[in-house]
Amino acid sequence: MGAILAAATAQAEGWPVVYLGPDLPARNIARAAEQVQAEVVALGLVYPADDPKLGTELSELRERLPMTAQIIVGGSAATSYGPVLQRIRAQIVTGIRTFQEVLSRRRSERMRTG
């Protein structure tokens, strides 16, 4: 539910949104992001908080995305993956308000750099 709410929020903020659904491998997410030239990839991590494969998937996602693409991660399990999220330079958000703030900053950065 959180990912759908995040998608609706981003769309309401004027961002083009492509909702991919749950449980996709990194390669599929990266392929879709490449096709639409996504500036931001938002992920919801809810369950489980200790999936041993998720760190590898998150690292692969970072490798497959352009360095300019920002990864934003929310959800109840997000902080459990803090070390890997820090390593891949993902932004953790703690709620919709924080998500809106990150999107707003990203838009401001884009406008400054052209």
pLDDT of residue 14: 92
Decide if 61 contacts 30 (C-beta within 8 A).
yes
Number of Cβ within 10 Å of residue 81's Cβ equals 23
Q: How far apart are CA 19 and CA 3, in angstroms?
A: 8
**R_g (Cα) of the chain, nearest Å:** 13
> In which band, very low, low, confident or very high, does the pLDDT at 109 lie, cut at 50, 70 and 90?
confident
Q: What is the DSSP string of 21-88?
A: -SS--HHHHHHHHHHHT-SEEEEE--S-TT-TTHHHHHHHHHHHS-TTPEEEEESTTGGGGHHHHHHT
Q: Which domains does the chain have, with CATH numbers?
A: 2-108 (3.40.50.280)
Is pLDDT above 70 for 114? no
7-42 pLDDT tens trace: 999 999 999 999 999 889 999 999 999 999 999 999
67-94 pLDDT tens trace: 999 999 999 999 999 999 999 999 999 9
CA–CA distance from 114 to each of 15, 26, 37, 54 (Å)? 16, 29, 16, 35
Nearest 5 degrees, angle CA 35-CA 59-CA 47? 95
pLDDT of residue 112: 81
